[in-house]
Amino acid sequence: MSSASYRDAVFTTPLDRIASFSFDEQVVACFPDMIRRSVPGYGQILGMLGVIAERHLRHGAHVYDLGCSLGAVGLALAGRLPPDAFTLTGVDLSPAMVERARSTLAEECPGHHIEIVEGDIRHLDYRPSGMIVLNFTLQFLAPGDRDAVIATLFEALEPGGVLVLSEKIVAADEQENAWLVERYHDFKRANGYSDLEISQKRTALENVLVPDTLDAHHARLSRAGFSRVTTWFQYLNFASMIAFKE
């Protein structure tokens, strides 16, 4: 079992051919560093998820963390809520992520009821739940698959349940979007990434991470049946929404 975590150097050297970004062993080994240096507000969003769970979760309710990567959402909830407050299923498609999430959670929160399942969130048999979190995951699904997943999650939520959706977003206005993307690249530079790393990763993410506008997210959530949707967080071109089921 290797639990060492490395600095993200995935795109540091010039690559002849830039392969599509994938959540493989190389990414898993540096993922905590990669996501903290690349997603504005990542730590703040995780902290707030615990607060949202405290406020909205019925005692003992079930939580899904979809696209759980290394289980950060489960860890955040376990850090704020006692073991009997909730059960949680983390789901991820990447075997390397799942293997490491399991060992981390077993070590960090042994008393909590958290299981990690290797699977595709598009084809899961969901059980009734009080809270479903997609923390930067929907953006990796083919755009044509997104409506059906959100509709399924609406059905899985109990009345009073909440869906938290964090996403990289695109602004509809071209000038606004250009400014946000430029400042996002400045944010990455300030976090130690070189121009080469920024540009090679951007190429690797083309057609892999396809962002929607905030309006498209709100419209999709409304179509699925959510009566109220609030964007509770935005930092540059990264946002988090909460959708309420009546």
Ligand X SMILES: O=C(O)C(=O)Cc1ccccc1
For ligand GEK, which residue of 37, 62, 94, 224 counts as binding (CB under 6 A)? 94
Sketch the per residue contact string, 114 through 143, with ligand GEK: x for CB under 6 A, - otherwise.
------xxx------------xxx--xx--
Least distance (Å) between residue 76 CB and ligand GEK: 8
State how far the Cα of 75 lies from the Cα of 108, in Å rounded to an integer.
8
Angle between helices 72-80 and 42-56 (to 10 degrees): 50
Q: Which does 104 bind (CB under 5 to 8 A by kind): ligand GEK, ligand X, none?
A: none
State how far the Cα of 232 lies from the Cα of 244, in Å rounded to an integer.
13
Give the residue from 46, 91, 49 showing the smallest Cα distance to 242. Answer: 49
Enter the tokens of residue 84.
Answer: 């009997």
**Paired strand residues for 164:** 133, 242
Least distance (Å) between residue 142 CB and ligand X: 16
* Residue 237 is a binding residue for ligand GEK (CB under 6 A): no
Q: Which residues contact 42 (CB under 8 A, 6 or more apart)?
A: 35, 36
Whichever of 69 and 104 has its CB closer to ligand X, that residue is 69
For ligand X, which residue of 34, 81, 141, 241 counts as binding (CB under 6 A)? 34
* Contact present, 73 and 65 (Cβ < 8 Å): yes
* Residue 97 is a binding residue for ligand GEK (CB under 6 A): yes
Q: Which does 201 bind (CB under 5 to 8 A by kind): ligand X, ligand GEK, none?
A: ligand X
Q: Pick out residues in 35-74 that bind ligand GEK (CB under 6 A).
A: 35, 67-69, 72-73
* Contact present, 232 and 242 (Cβ < 8 Å): yes
State how far the Cα of 112 lies from the Cα of 87, in Å rounded to an integer.
7
Report the b/e string of 101-132 with b at 16+ CB within 10 A.
bbebbeeebeebbbebeeeebeebebeebbbb
State how far the Cα of 146 lies from the Cα of 90, in Å rounded to an integer.
19
* Residue 35 is a binding residue for ligand X (CB under 6 A): yes
**145 labeled binding residue:** no
For ligand X, which residue of 201, 217, 218, 245 counts as binding (CB under 6 A)? 201
Site stretch for ligand X (CB under 6 A), options 32-40, 98-106, 116-124, 159-167: 32-40
**135 labeled binding residue:** yes
| Type of residue numbered 169 | I
Q: Which does 205 bind (CB under 5 to 8 A by kind): ligand GEK, ligand X, none?
A: ligand X
For ligand GEK, which residue of 37, 52, 81, 92 counts as binding (CB under 6 A)? 92
| Known binding-site residue numbers for S-adenosyl-L-methionine | 42, 67-69, 120-121, 135, 202
* Footprint of ligand GEK (CB under 6 A): 23, 35, 67-69, 72-73, 91-94, 97, 120-122, 135-137, 140-141
